[in-house]
Amino acid sequence: MTGSASLASAPWGGLIVEFREVILTMRPHADAELIERACDVAARCHQGQLRCSGDPYITHPVAVATILAGLDDVDEVDDQTLCAAVLHDTVQDTPYTMAALRREFGAGTAAMVADIMALDRLRRRPGRKAAQVMATIRSADTRVAAVKLADRLHNMQTLQFLPQAKQLRKAREVLDTFLPLAQQLNMHTIRWELQTLAFAALIRNQPLRPPRRRVIIALDIERSTSRPDPVKAELRTMLYELFDAALRSAGVGVRRRGQFTDRGDGLLALIDPAEQALLFDLVIPVFGQFLTSYNASLPYSSGQDRQLRVRAVMHTGNVHDDDNGYFGEALDIAFRLLDAPRVKAELRQAQGSLLLVVSTDVYDSVAPLGPDGADHTASRGLITGEVAGHEYQGWIHVPTEAA
C-alpha cells in the first residue's frame, strides 16, 4: 500500500486522497486501500501525459472509476471492476506490463484490463460494424462492458476539446453502439447521460436541416431482451404490423407519418402534429384492441412466452434529423418518460396489454376527454423525467380499447 507520507508528497497525492473519500462515501464496504494503490500505480504510469483538455491523464481513469462507483443500477460493480477502471489504459498507453498488473492486482483484474484492450482494438478495426462490436461486448464480462460505457461517458463529458469531425464520429458511435448496449445491460443512468451528450454534440457540430415538429410515439415490448431470439423477432414483426394496422384503420397513411424507425426492443413513429388528437382518441385505443386480440389468439402452450405487452409514450416536439437518423431533446424527453421505472412497474401490474405515457404538453391538449366528451383513459398517476437538467412530466394511462 502507498504510505501516507509518500502519497502526500506525490504530485497526484491530493487527487488520490479525494478519490478514496468519494469511493468510501459511495461504497462504504469497498477495499479503499486496494483501489488507492491502483490509483497510485496508474498515476505513476501516466505521469507527464495530458488529455486534450490539458488535464493530467490520471484524471480520466479516476473519473471512470468514480462514475462506476456511483451507479445504483449495476450490481456487478465490485473492487476488481474499480481497479480495472483505474488501470484500464496503463498497459496500452504506458510501459506498464500485463505481467506486472497481474502480479500486483491479481489475475481477475488483469483479465478485465485485457478484455477492455481487446474491445478497443475491435472498435478501431477498419470496416467493423456496430452490430459486430455490440455482439462482442455483450459476450464479454458485464463488468468489462460497464467499464467501457463509463469510459465513453467521461470522454463524452469532455468532448468539446476534440476536433469537430471527431466529435461527430464519437457522438454517432454512441447512438449506434453504446446506447443499445446500455439499454440491454439496464444501465439507464449512463444511457440517458450518453444520449443527452450525443444529441448535444450533433446539434452543436453539424449543419442541420430545419427541425420538424412531430408527434413522437415510441413503443417498447415488455421483457423483450429476456426472450429467445426467434421469439423476439416474431414479436417485433407483430408489433410493426399491429401498429401499422391501427394507423391505417384511422386513415393515417405513410405520407402523414413516414417510415417506422427500429428501436431494438420496439419502434419509433414520427407523425404529423395535425393527427395528435386522432392518435390519442382512436389509434392508441385500436392498437390496444389489436394487442388484446393477438394475445387471446395464442395457443395456451406457448401463450405466456409470446404474449405481446407494450409500453408506449406520446409526446410532441421538434425533431432533428441527418443522414444517420433522428435526434433531439424532444426524443430524449419521450424516451426518458417511456423508460421511467414506475412505467415499467405499472405495466407489470396492469391486466391489459398496453400502457401509455402522455407528456403533459400532449395531455393538456387531448386528455382526458375525447371528441364525444367521454373519458377515454384511466389515469394511473404523474411521473417525472429529467433531461439536461430540466424536469418533464407525463401521465400514465391505460387506454380504453376502441369498441
Indicate whether 30 and 80 sit together in one domain. Answer: yes
The domain boundary residue, chosen from 185, 204, 223 = 204
377 neighbors 284 (Cβ within 8 angstroms):
no
Q: How confident is the model at residue 350 (pLDDT cuts 50, 70, 90)?
A: confident
Indicate whether 124 and 194 sit together in one domain. Answer: yes
Grid cell for residue 181: 448496449
Average pLDDT over residues 355-361: 91
* CATH code of residue 85: 1.10.3210.10
370 neighbors 358 (Cβ within 8 angstroms):
no
Indicate whether 283 and 176 sit together in one domain. Answer: no
Average pLDDT over residues 255-276: 90
Indicate whether 267 and 295 sit together in one domain. Answer: yes
Q: pLDDT exceeding 70 applies to what percent of the chain?
A: 85
Give per-residue pLDDT as tens, 167-205: 988 998 898 888 888 887 878 889 889 988 998 888 887
Indicate whether 177 and 68 sit together in one domain. Answer: yes
Instruction: Report the pLDDT value the prediction gives residue 351, as an integer from 0 to 100.
Output: 81
31 neighbors 69 (Cβ within 8 angstroms):
no
Q: How confident is the model at residue 377 (pLDDT cuts 50, 70, 90)?
A: very low
Three-state secondary structure readout of the chain: CCCHHHHHHCCCHHHHHHHHHHHHHHCCCCCHHHHHHHHHHHHHHCCCCECCCCCECCHHHHHHHHHHHCCCCCCCCCHHHHHHHHHCCHHHHCCCCHHHHHHHHHHHHHHHHHHHHHHHHHHHCCCCCHHHHHHHHHHCCHHHHHHHHHHHHHHHHCHHHCCHHHHHHHHHHHHHHHHHHHHHCCCHHHHHHHHHHHHHHHHHHCCCCCCEEEEEEEEEECCCCCCCHHHHHHHHHHHHHHHHHHHHHCCCCHHHHCCCEECCCEEEEEECHHHHHHHHHHHHHHHHHHHHHHHHCCCHHHHHHHCCCEEEEEEEEEEEEECCEEECHHHHHHHHHHCCHHHHHHHHHCCCCEEEEEEHHHHHHHCCECCCCCECEEEEEEEEEEECCEEEEEEEEEECCCC
The domain boundary residue, chosen from 204, 225, 250 = 204
Q: Tell whether the model's pLDDT for residue 63 goes beyond 80.
A: yes
Contacts of 145 (CB under 8 A, 6+ apart): 137, 138, 181, 185
Mean pLDDT for the chain overall: 84
Average pLDDT over residues 152-156: 95
Top mean pLDDT of 99-108, 135-144, 334-343, 376-385 is at 99-108
Instruction: Report the pLDDT value the prediction gives residue 367, as an integer from 0 to 100.
Output: 64
Q: Tell whether the model's pLDDT for residue 130 goes beyond 70.
A: no
Give per-residue pLDDT as tens, 292-322: 999 999 887 665 678 899 999 999 999 988 7
Instruction: Report the pLDDT value the prediction gives residue 1, as an integer from 0 to 100.
Output: 40
Instruction: Report the pLDDT value the prediction gives residue 104, as an integer from 0 to 100.
Output: 95
Indicate whether 23 and 151 sit together in one domain. Answer: yes
* CATH code of residue 252: 3.30.70.1230
Q: Tell whether the model's pLDDT for residue 138 goes beyond 50.
A: yes
Indicate whether 150 and 223 sit together in one domain. Answer: no
Instruction: Name which of 224, 186, 220 is nearest 305 in CA terms.
Output: 224
Domain region containing 354? 213-399
Q: For the chain, what is the domain count?
A: 2
Q: Tell whether the model's pLDDT for residue 215 goes beyond 50.
A: yes
Indicate whether 121 and 19 sit together in one domain. Answer: yes
Average pLDDT over residues 260-274: 91
In angstroms, the Cα distances linking 390 to 79, 138, 213, 216, 393 are 34, 32, 20, 19, 10
Q: Tell whether the model's pLDDT for residue 270 goes beyond 90.
A: yes
Indicate whether 183 and 64 sit together in one domain. Answer: yes
- The better pLDDT of the pair 72, 57 is held by 57
Indicate whether 315 and 341 sit together in one domain. Answer: yes
- The better pLDDT of the pair 123, 163 is held by 163
The domain boundary residue, chosen from 157, 181, 204 = 204
Indicate whether 164 and 270 sit together in one domain. Answer: no
Indicate whether 191 and 300 sit together in one domain. Answer: no
Among 52-61, 66-75, 150-159, name the one with the lowest average pLDDT: 66-75
